[in-house]
Chains A and B, each alone.
Chain A
Amino acid sequence: MTSVQSHLSASFAAHLADAQVAVEIETPEMTLNIGPQHPSTHGVFRLIAKVDGERVTEVEPVLGYMHRGYEKLCEVRTYAQVTALVNRLDWLSGYCNEIPFILSAEKLMGIEAPPRVQYIRTILSELARQATFLVFLGSFGIELGALTPFFHTMRDREKVLDLLESVTGGRFHPNFNRVGGILDDLPPGFVEECAAVMDDVDKMCDQVDALLFGNDIFRERTLGVGVIPLDKGLEYGVSGANIRASGCAADVRRDEPYLVYDEVDFDVVTDTRGDAFARAYCRLQETRESTRIVRQCLKALPSGPIMAKVPKVIQVPPGEVYVRAENPLGEMGYYLVSRGGRIPYRVKVRTASFNNVSVLPWLLEGVFMPDLIAILGSLYFILGDVDR
């Protein structure tokens, strides 16, 4: 009798537990295909996400929709032609992409560009950085549903792009660097104009700081979301503001000064939180540092030639070198292998976004669907930079 009772109660309990479990987990997993065309993937990026309700359980990024095979194309182009190509890697800051390539070629050839060139290169790199970060500050708002900041940052970005255009003739793809120098000198009146625009950019930064970063909803959406621990980030090679937000003071401009970064005074902005907010905030602060650098460069701009003595036909002696630079998206570098001649033997392009994105499958596990967008936005990658 008692045994029957206990048996019955046990089976009841089991059924109850079953029913409970069935009620609890009766949300079938759904595979959600985000992209390749999706409003917040910055190009043709595809994520295959398994979602349980609003929670993402697994994510698989699919790359290659924009793979253009630049490393192969570099092997059949002369050095001057490669710079036109690499402009299109991270298309928002095309100018910055040229710098490490040109520097690597110059390093192998043993040429050093004249000081005026170095200064102009630094100024233009920083302008490109500001243009990129202004897009970020606006588009990150859009990803979180705030439309208005985007238009305001785009307005000031336009001023920065106008400056770039006045010097290089191109807004996105300047192709302005040559081995040993630059194509042309600064146009008259550039210094005054540039200083005025820097004031505008600073003002914009203050506004974004107050309106977006001071907004409670924005903080609620980003604080503590998508935390990248420092060791994990380093292991994946995450760089730029993404890793500095995790507390690592790594900045190529400071660690391995190129151009004239050792002559200007700037702070490496770091944060310890490692979340989406910290990443975005680091970028905001870096925009301010960037205007600081430009102002110093404008003040110290030397006169002089804009081209070193180089042979007409650029022939790079045999050698291998890895030159990296701190691009807006993070560390970008070229591993240049030359066996002599006018054409590089092998160019390995190390782009920041590729490594930054590779942390996604690990990072996106178990986040909410809206957080997924916030995290994607805060990592800030450009598809041309991921796929190459």
Chain B
Amino acid sequence: MALAPEALTARFRDGLGESVVDTSTAFGMATVVVSARAWVDALAFAKGDEQLACDSFSWLSGIEWVDDSEGDADADTAEAAAATGAETEEPEPEPDESEYHAPPVPAFEVVARVASSTEHHGVTLKARLDPDRPVVASAIGVYAGADWHERELMEMFGVEVVGHPNPVKLYLPDHFEGHPLRRSYKLGAREIKPWPGDVNVEDMPEDTPITEPKPGQPK
């Protein structure tokens, strides 16, 4: 019996108690943020709990949250950053679970998605790490499939995964320097030349439905 997102997050709150930092059910997705120390425990709980029964490991990755008004060569993101900034300046008075809220910047989140093959529900687990020196424990002991995902996490974000049996690069050549998915790692091509395709997209006044609904053919 699939659990609703609210029931899923509630279950995690019950089971993990203090370790749960934050939960969200925005956009119908159950998200549970746990403390970095409880990362592996949370995964083990998701797998072991008979109501959650998340036996299937989907993926594991990271998100780096930076205050990047200059992060993209795009003016719109400034606005976006301002929006998130405004949101995070509130001193977090028990945010509404059903509403989306981004973490306070700068932050680094490790994200994993696990699902249940029998109950047909899934949950997104997050842990907030130290953005300057992200360290997380390896989840291979719980889900063997985390192996390659963690190797990718290491090379792409420079996260230190403690306890990984084979911490070598997965995709990149051994001599590669830097961590490409970090926001500070600039895409070389864009540094040389801005995306040529970008010129096509003109900034138009918002909420102007240009695309009139086309009449569909009657079959």
Shortest CB-to-CB span from A339 to chain B, Å, is 4
Per-residue CB contact flags for chain B residues 21-49 toward chain A (1 = under 8 Å, else 0) read 00000111101000000000000000000
A342-B74 in contact (CB<8A)? yes
What residues on B are CB-neighbors of A186 within 8 Å? 217
B210 within 8 A of partner (CB): yes
A169 within 8 A of partner (CB): no
B172-A256 in contact (CB<8A)? no
Given the interface pairs A72-B187, A78-B198, A311-B207, the reply to whether A305 lies near B213 with Cβ below 8 Å is: yes
Contact of B217 among A78, A188, A231, A250 (CB under 8 A): A188
A31 within 8 A of partner (CB): no
B216-A304 in contact (CB<8A)? yes
Given the interface pairs A250-B56, A320-B31, the reply to whether A348 lies near B201 with Cβ below 8 Å is: no
Compute how far the CA of A310 lies from the CA of B73 in the bound complex, rounded to whole angstroms: 24
Shortest CB-to-CB span from B194 to chain A, Å, is 9
One of B11-19, B77-85, B90-98, B129-137 at the interface: B77-85
Per-residue CB contact flags for chain B residues 168-198 toward chain A (1 = under 8 Å, else 0) read 0111110000001100010100100001011
What residues on B are CB-neighbors of A315 within 8 Å? 76, 206
A67-B210 in contact (CB<8A)? no
Contact of B56 among A63, A80, A237, A308 (CB under 8 A): A237
The residue in chain A whose Cβ has the minimal distance to the Cβ of B85 is A339
Shortest CB-to-CB span from B98 to chain A, Å, is 12
A73 within 8 A of partner (CB): yes
The residue in chain B whose Cβ has the minimal distance to the Cβ of A248 is B117
What residues on B are CB-neighbors of A387 within 8 Å? 171
A75 within 8 A of partner (CB): yes
Within A229-259, the residues touching B (CB, 8 Å) are 231-232, 234-237, 239, 243, 248, 250, 255-256
Compute how far the CA of A114 lies from the CA of B215 in the bound complex, rounded to whole angstroms: 12
Shortest CB-to-CB span from B108 to chain A, Å, is 12
Shortest CB-to-CB span from A276 to chain B, Å, is 20
Per-residue CB contact flags for chain A residues 357-368 toward chain B (1 = under 8 Å, else 0) read 011001000000
B206-A337 in contact (CB<8A)? no
Shortest CB-to-CB span from B116 to chain A, Å, is 9
The residue in chain A whose Cβ has the minimal distance to the Cβ of B126 is A320
A346-B63 in contact (CB<8A)? yes
On chain A, the number of residues with a Cβ less than 8 Å from chain B's Cβ atoms is 73
Compute how far the CA of A379 lies from the CA of B113 in the bound complex, rounded to whole angstroms: 22
A218 within 8 A of partner (CB): no
Compute how far the CA of A362 lies from the CA of B145 in the bound complex, rounded to whole angstroms: 10
Given the interface pairs A237-B145, A331-B58, the reply to whether A72 lies near B180 with Cβ below 8 Å is: yes
Q: Is the interface of B mostly helix, strand, loop or mixed?
A: loop
B27-A107 in contact (CB<8A)? yes
Shortest CB-to-CB span from A132 to chain B, Å, is 21
Compute how far the CA of A243 lies from the CA of B172 in the bound complex, rounded to whole angstroms: 29
Within B156-176, the residues touching A (CB, 8 Å) are 156, 169-173
Compute how far the CA of A239 lies from the CA of B115 in the bound complex, rounded to whole angstroms: 11
Compute how far the CA of A216 lies from the CA of B113 in the bound complex, rounded to whole angstroms: 42
B211-A76 in contact (CB<8A)? no
Within A313-365, the residues touching B (CB, 8 Å) are 313, 315, 318-322, 324, 331, 333, 335, 337-343, 345-346, 348, 350, 354-355, 358-359, 362
A237-B172 in contact (CB<8A)? no
Shortest CB-to-CB span from A112 to chain B, Å, is 13
What residues on A are CB-neighbors of B216 within 8 Å? 116, 185, 303-306
Shortest CB-to-CB span from B219 to chain A, Å, is 6
Shortest CB-to-CB span from B184 to chain A, Å, is 12
Contact of A311 among B145, B169, B185, B208 (CB under 8 A): B208
Per-residue CB contact flags for chain A residues 167-189 toward chain B (1 = under 8 Å, else 0) read 00000000000000100011010
Compute how far the CA of A2 lies from the CA of B38 in the bound complex, rounded to whole angstroms: 68
B6 within 8 A of partner (CB): no
Shortest CB-to-CB span from B148 to chain A, Å, is 5
Contact of B76 among A75, A108, A181, A342 (CB under 8 A): A342
A224 within 8 A of partner (CB): no
B206-A311 in contact (CB<8A)? yes
A237-B58 in contact (CB<8A)? yes
Within B119-167, the residues touching A (CB, 8 Å) are 120, 122, 124, 143-145, 147-148, 156
Shortest CB-to-CB span from A97 to chain B, Å, is 16
Shortest CB-to-CB span from A154 to chain B, Å, is 30
Compute how far the CA of A308 lies from the CA of B209 in the bound complex, rounded to whole angstroms: 10
Query: Could you list some 7 contacts between A and B, CB below 8 A?
Result: A76-B195, A255-B120, A312-B204, A339-B80, A339-B81, A342-B74, A359-B145
With A303-B218, A337-B63, A387-B171 already in contact, 4 other A-B pairs whose C-beta atoms are closer than 8 Å: A236-B145, A303-B217, A311-B207, A342-B201
* Top 9 A-B pairs, shortest CB-CB distance: A340-B80, A305-B213, A236-B145, A64-B171, A341-B76, A255-B120, A312-B210, A67-B171, A339-B80
